[in-house]
Structure formats: C-alpha cells, structure tokens
Chain A
Amino acid sequence: MSTELADIHDFIKAIEPFNQLSDSAIGQVINQISICYVREGEPLPPQGIDQPSLYFLRKGALAYYDMSNGEDGELLGKYGEGDICSVFCRTDRKENIKVIPEEDTLLCVIDYEELKVIIKDYPEVFAFFMNTAGERLQNKVASINEEAIVSSTLMNMSISDFYHAPAVTIDSKQSIQDAAIKMTELGFSCLVVVTNDELAGIVTDKDLRRRCIAQGLAVTQPVSDIMTSNVQLIDVNHSAHDALIKMTSGRIHHLPVTKNGKLAGMVTVTDLMNQEGLNAVNMASTIRKANTVVELAKIAELLPKLQIRMAKLGTTADHVGKTISAITGSFTMRLIEMAEKQIGPAPVPYAWMAAGSQARQEQFAHSDQDNALIISDDMQPEDDKWFADLAKFVSDGLAACNFIYCPGNVMATNPKWRQPAKVWGQYFDKWINQPEPLALMHSSIFFDLNTVCGDASLLAGVRAKMLNKTKANTLFVAHLSGNALKLRPPLGFFRDFVLISNGKNKKTLDLKHNGIAPIVDLARIYALSEGIEAVNTIDRLRQASGTPSLSSKSAASLIDAYEFLGMLRVEHQARQLQANTEPDNYLAPKEISRLEREHLKDAFKVIKSMQNSRQTTYS
C-alpha cells in the first residue's frame, strides 16, 4: 500500500464516524478497501463480495427497500455521496432489506471483520456499528445534558455580544473638568484617555472622587494626572466569563475592549451583571411590578433574547419550554390582576386555563395564545359579561405582548371556550363517547390543559371525570391513534435534502410536524389510555413507562428522541432569533452536521417504530 492515496484518504476521513480515526488507522482501512462499481438497478452486494461488508458511497445513489411486506418493497431511505451503507455488515440480518442503486454507483467496500479489527481501539466508532438507533440516540442525549450542566452562565457568551462600541475617548491634554463634563453629558462612568490616538489610560467616576476632589487637585489639571495608566484590556473574542475573571481579580469595573489589537469599545461590570440578570427569575419579578400593558409589552420584547441566551448556554429544550411557558403564565396572571382592578372582582370562582404547548410547558417565544375559561357551575347567565370582559382584556394584553391571537380561535374570548365546568364535562363526553376524526383533531388541544390562574379544583374535577372515560374507551383511543399516525417522520436525508416516504425530496425538515408533534401525540395517547394526569410530554412518557401502553425501554427511546429534536429546534430558532428573523421549525439539512443527521435518522426510526406498533394495536 502506498501513502499516495490522498483522494481516498480524504474521502474516508470526511465520513462519520471515521473522522475519529487516526491517519494511520485510516491507512489500514484503505489497505483493506476494494473499489467496485454497481449498475443502476442491480441489487447489492455486487458480484465477488460474499463476506459481510461495509460500503462507502463515492459517487451515485442507493435506495433501501423493506421487502418484508410484499414484492415491491417499501422505500426506507436513500443514500448519496459520502454516506455509508451498513446493511450488509452482519450475516444475522433480521430485516429483509434490499439495496438498489438508483444510478451507476462507485463504491469502496471493506470486509466487516477486517474493519472491526482496525476500529477495536476506537470505542465510539465501534459503538456506531454495534449499537441500535435507540442506543446511539441515548448516548447523544446523555452528552447534551452533560454539556448543559457544565456550561455556566457567562461561559458561552462572547464579549462581542454585549460590549459598548465605540469607546468614548478624551485626549490626555484635556482638563479634568472637561472629562467630568463629557461623562456627565453622556452618562458614562468611564472614559478612555488617549495620547495621539493611542490608548494611554482610563479615567472613572472613582478617580474624580479619590484622585481629584479628595486630594484638592485643581480641575484645570490635565486628565492624565488622575487617570489609571497600565490598563487591562480584553480582546473582543474572549468570553464574558474571561472578562468577569479579569475584573474580579483586578478589582476593576471597566475593561476596554480591543479588536485586532485596536481599541473597539468598553465593557463594564454592570454590563456583565445585566447579562447574568437576563433570566427567568428576574423577568418574572419585573412582570409582577409592571403596572400597564405597555410596560408588559416592553418586558415581553426580552423573551426572544432570553430564549437565545438559554440556547447559547446549552439549556435543554425541556428547560427552555418550561421557562418560556412559566413566563407566559406570569404575563397572563399579571394581566388578570390588571383586569380585575378595572372590572372588579369575579362574580363566581373560575380558572384561567392554558391549552396546548403552554399547558404542556413546551412553549417557545413567538408562539400564539391558546386559552380557555372554566367557570364555577354557580355562574348565572348575566355573569358571562364579566368573563367576556376579562377574556378580552387578557387576550388583547397577550397580543400586545406578542402572543398573537390563536388562528383557530381557541381563546377565552370565544364563548364556546368560556363555559361552566358542567358544559366542559359535556364537551369531553361528546369527544370521547362519539369520537369523530375531524372533531377529535380540533379538540385534541383541550386534552392538554393546565390552570394558569384561579381555582385549580375546577380543572381537576373536569379532568378526573375525563380520564375515567378515556381509560376505558378503546374506540376513542383508536381514533386518537388514527389521527396521530397522520404525521409521519421523514425517511432520512439524501444528499442535502430531506427524503420523505413517497421517495420525494424536500428542502427542509419540519421539526415540529414531522418530529416533535408525533411524539407529543403518542405521549397524549399513552396518558389518556392509562389515566395519567400529567400534560407535559416528558412527564407523560415517564409516567406511562412500564404500563401496558408503553414499555420502559420504548419510553426511554422516545424521551431521547424528543429531547434531541427539541435541542435542534432550540438551536435552529436561536440562530433565527439572533438574525432577527421570525423563528420557525423548518430545518435545512445543510444547517446541521452529518453526525446530527445520523442522530436525527435514529430519532425518526424510534418514532416510526412506535407509530407502527400503535398502528398494529389499533387497526
């Protein structure tokens, strides 16, 4: 073998998980490789290859078909340049998969037994081939959670995210008074002193006090007399955490920021504290103090920033969803307080409910509002006016805070969703006892409710009766399952496209409808069939784990898949929010690494297998 095979070396080195191998191990892999060429339509393995082997696709395309149900087979996936085909790695293959080139295809092939010898010292590479989709996903999610814990608040933020630019300067020959005037006019506590445009020092409020006034120094003296020379600087590319360390160890409150060695701006300890302060606790307390809708709307502008920040800190999607939902709850409660101040106290007890993602604590910034009212059965017809006013005030207030009106009109302003407990009971009876697919689809949002404000026992009562009925009603569960199976994850990726089940390509993956929603739907079904009160998807899956509806192993895989999809969504939206675009759920394969695509495919497999088992149970 020769070291001259740069083409093949680079090709193999770029493929997950072989990028983890040393150059000499890649050399060993190459030494075992044969190049072969398969014609369009001629199934793999090619002639001459009878041992279990791994294939690397150098040029062309392969399509996988599941042949277990019928002769035509069901398309499982398509693979293009830079993908690997591991279907033929094992002899004891349980699946009946056919691999057919869709174009003339150039392949590198390696004997699997030989490969195992080479990669035995690389546990992660080895595991890649030995583990199932669920196991790989579990490892990935475990490492994400670990990262989230390790990263501290300021560690992942760069100074470039929040420093003030440009720094305000004063010439060293100007007087102390000039400096004081400039600081007062601009409201700055610090100026950078320059001599011939070169940084000479800094002067702060404290210097004016200690080195000038206290010393009785004339204010006509040059500012250089009281400045601190020997200034500590920080490069714009450093982390906020580095700045904090520099400030605390030097007992200083101001750090001039440099960019490419030149003065670019200033960062103060207050800036750092503000960064630290942008958290849920702070936001909730400012919401409580707000007195007008305008003030609330102002605070609400911070919500996307909070979400970006949490994403940058590596916070899990679960945590982001809970935080954003809690803050939406704070806005709602404050609006209700404001409304009651205006329209007087409620005539009878009631509960303001969140529906859908907010109720499940899975809400993200820029989502629409879904709400409803359960009112005490003591309510009189004339009381509705008060509740209509309340609903209008709160709903308009939420809209002012950028929670747009629900396009499906699931809001307490809609008389249908502003009803006494007994009417809610009738609604549920109808949905459960006479299930119709379309009606169920529209009402599924009401199976995810929680009390934001008011008398929690109202919802608890309605829910207890509802769960008693869903538990016993297989027809209802069957209809719910039928609806849930309408949203299917894609097959995978082909080149830079998303491959869907009819073999067509799409440019983007709809993370919400083709990944997250199917899991949410499954979790709802498990919860309703097992009489579980929880509405949060992960809580539902945890509680359903080990019940007849869901094995503990499947529950764990679904949770992993859900967390991984959630993480991709949080990161995707953070990129959009950062770029000041409206966040959406459409992920382009190019946005993510090849390895992340592999994990995504694993997540799709988990969802698909759970959907299939639903289908067999209820069809």
Chain B
Amino acid sequence: MFTNLVDYFFSLESKRKKLLAKAPEGPLKEFLKVPFASTEQAIGEVDILALDFETTGLNAKQDKLLSVGYVNFKNGLIKLGQSHHQIICSNGDMDKDNVVIHQITDTEKANGCQLEQVIEQLLSDLAGKVMLVHYANIEKTFLEQACIKLYGMAPVFPIIDTLALAKKHFERAQKHFDPSQLRLINLRAAYGLPAHHEHNALNDAIATAELLLAQMRNYPQGFSTPLSEFLLK
C-alpha cells in the first residue's frame, strides 16, 4: 500500500511537472513552478493551507463560488494573522436558500472581488503547500473548474481531507458509523471541540484545521508522522 501511495504521489509530482510545461504564462504557471512537499516529510514540517469554499451548489460546472476562506497552518499552530477571507462577486442573482445558509447577501457579493483576482491570490498562497479541507470534492472540483475557466487547464495539488481521515479511522477500527457522523460539526463535537460559526468560509477553514489537530491523537508518532499517511488518494 505504501508503494502505491508513493507511486500515486510520484505521479502527482510528475503530473505537476508535465502541466508546468504546458501551462500558459501567469498565475497557474507560477503555482505549478513550486514543488510539492515530499511525502516522506513529517507532517509537522509541512506548510498547510486550511481552505473552505462557500458555493451556490454542489456542481462545479453549474454552480458558482461565493466566498473563499483560508488560514496558514504549520507545526500544529494555526496562525490567525495569516488568514484570508474574500467574497466573490459574480453575475446572477443568488438563490434564496443559499443566502440563508451562507448569510452573504447580493449587496455584499457586489462588494466582493472578481473571481480572477481571488483565484490568483489563492494560487499564490497555496503554492508549495498542502491543501487541507473537509470533504475534498467541493474545493477540488471548484478550484479545478475555476482554473479551466480562467487559464484553460486544471492544476494538480496535494490534499488532506479530514472527512476521509475520519472515515479511514472508523473503518480501521471496524466501527459502524452513520454518514452524518462525518459532518464537520459532528466530528468536532465528537472530539470535544467547541461549536463554531458554521457556513462562513474562514471559520469553517479554521474549524477544519482544529479538527485535524484533534485527529492527530490517532497517530502515535504525532507531528513526526510522514505526510503520506494523511494525503488523499
């Protein structure tokens, strides 16, 4: 299994190099220029960017990005001073239900940044780091889709998914679990973490980083555990 992982990551790193050759000049190319962290590296030494997107829906092709929040995280310390939250202005009225969930109104959205600026900033801040998310599907596909739209191609990036880690933990322990137990809020509660302000991209990003800190208890080597143990396959 370990060899497979190395193979997988080797291919991710090799994919990065291949894409770099094809990438147009600009933010995407700058992102791809920075090598990924080695999978052998201890997790404590790896630069991590905890990230969360709020979107109008689950389909990256149809739905839109509403806001982006992220915070830097290294060696067990979540640096609030190195955090970022940005609302994205896009065309089209917002779905009423989403206004309720994300509490972003049309007026706020109009005061937001263009998608292009936001993605450019995100790629620059993500370069050389591992992305940390809860339920990778959203952030992965929306970021890929945005890059295709803006630069004509999608990049690759290493991801740690706290939901996938939790699932793996349940499966390893051969514990029966209900899918709702994998929700960010429920996992946090199970680890004794305080309630947080949900559905705000930055607060969710911080909440995800805190969850990873709590999940570290499942790794006897702690912050010396190699990154490969955490990466999403």
Contacts and interface: CB of A to CB of B under 8 A. Distances in A.
A106 B194 CA distance: 9
Nearest to A28: B81
A34 B78 contact: yes
A60 B213 CA distance: 14
A58 B195 CA distance: 11
A39 B217 contact: yes
Given A2-B84, A31-B81, A59-B194, A47 B203 contact: no
Contact of A35 (B44, B78, B197, B216): B78
A31 B200 CA distance: 18
Given A2-B84, A5-B83, A36 B193 contact: no
Interface string B199-215: 01111001001100110
A36 B73 CA distance: 10
Nearest to B216: A37
A31 B203 contact: no
A7 B79 contact: no
Nearest to A39: B217
Contacts of B191: 104
A111 to B, nearest CB: 11
Contact of A5 (B44, B75, B77, B80): B80
A8 interface: yes
B167 interface: no
Given A35-B77, A36-B76, A37-B76, A1 B83 contact: yes
A35 B85 contact: no
A37 B80 contact: no
Contacts of A59: 192-194
Interface residues of B, number: 30
Contacts of A382: none
B183 interface: no
B81 A32 contact: yes
Nearest to A108: B80
Nearest to B203: A7
A55 to B, nearest CB: 13
Contacts of B81: 1, 30-33
Contacts of B44: 47
Interface string A1-19: 1101111100000000000
A32 B81 CA distance: 6
Nearest to B81: A31
Given A34-B78, A47-B76, A58 B203 contact: no
B83 A2 contact: yes
A21 to B, nearest CB: 16
A7 B196 contact: yes
Contacts of B36: none
Contacts of A277: none
A5 B203 contact: yes
Given A1-B81, A31-B80, A58-B194, A47 B210 contact: no
Contacts of A32: 80-81
A33 B210 contact: no
A30 B80 CA distance: 7
A31 to B, nearest CB: 4
A48 B76 contact: yes
Given A2-B202, A48-B76, A37 B210 contact: yes
B69 interface: yes
B209 A35 contact: yes
A118 to B, nearest CB: 12
A225 interface: no
A6 B209 CA distance: 17
Contact of B202 (A4, A39, A103, A106): A4
B214 to A, nearest CB: 6
Contacts of B80: 1, 5, 8, 30-35
Counting chain A CB atoms within 10 Å of each CB, the highest count among B76, B79, B193, B210 belongs to B76
Given A7-B197, A35-B209, A106-B194, A2 B217 contact: no
B196 A47 contact: no
A48 B45 CA distance: 11
A60 B209 CA distance: 17
Interface string A207-228: 0000000000000000000000
A104 B214 contact: yes
B197 A36 contact: no
Contacts of A36: 76-78, 213
Interface in B51-89: 69, 75-81, 83-85
B135 interface: no
A106 B192 CA distance: 9
B217 A104 contact: yes
A34 B217 contact: no
A37 B77 CA distance: 8
B230 interface: no
Nearest to A114: B81
A338 B84 CA distance: 83
A2 B202 CA distance: 8
B77 A48 contact: yes
Given A59-B193, A106-B194, A5 B202 contact: yes
B223 interface: yes
A7 B217 CA distance: 25
Nearest to A35: B78
Contact of B192 (A46, A47, A48, A103): A103
B76 A60 contact: no
A583 to B, nearest CB: 38
A431 B19 CA distance: 95
B223 A47 contact: yes
B69 A104 contact: no
A149 B187 CA distance: 55
Given A2-B202, A4-B203, A59-B192, A37 B197 contact: no
Contacts of A5: 80, 83, 202-203, 206
Contacts of B193: 59, 106
A306 B12 CA distance: 82
Interface in B152-195: 191-194
Contacts of A7: 196-197, 203
A58 B202 CA distance: 18
A49 B76 CA distance: 10
B47 to A, nearest CB: 13
Given A6-B203, A36-B76, A60 B192 contact: yes
A39 B206 CA distance: 19
Interface in A126-176: none
Nearest to B197: A7
Can you list the 6 inter-chain pairs with the closest CB atoms, starting with the nearest?
A: A37-B213, A2-B85, A35-B78, A34-B77, A31-B81, A4-B85
27 contacts: A1-B81, A2-B83, A4-B85, A6-B197, A7-B196, A8-B80, A30-B80, A34-B80, A35-B77, A35-B78, A35-B209, A35-B210, A36-B213, A46-B76, A48-B75, A48-B76, A49-B77, A58-B194, A59-B192, A59-B193, A60-B192, A104-B192, A104-B214, A104-B217, A106-B193, A106-B194, A106-B213
Interface of A: 1-2, 4-8, 30-37, 39, 46-49, 58-60, 81, 103-104, 106, 109
Given A4-B203, A106-B193, 7 more contacts: A1-B80, A2-B84, A5-B203, A35-B80, A48-B76, A58-B194, A106-B194
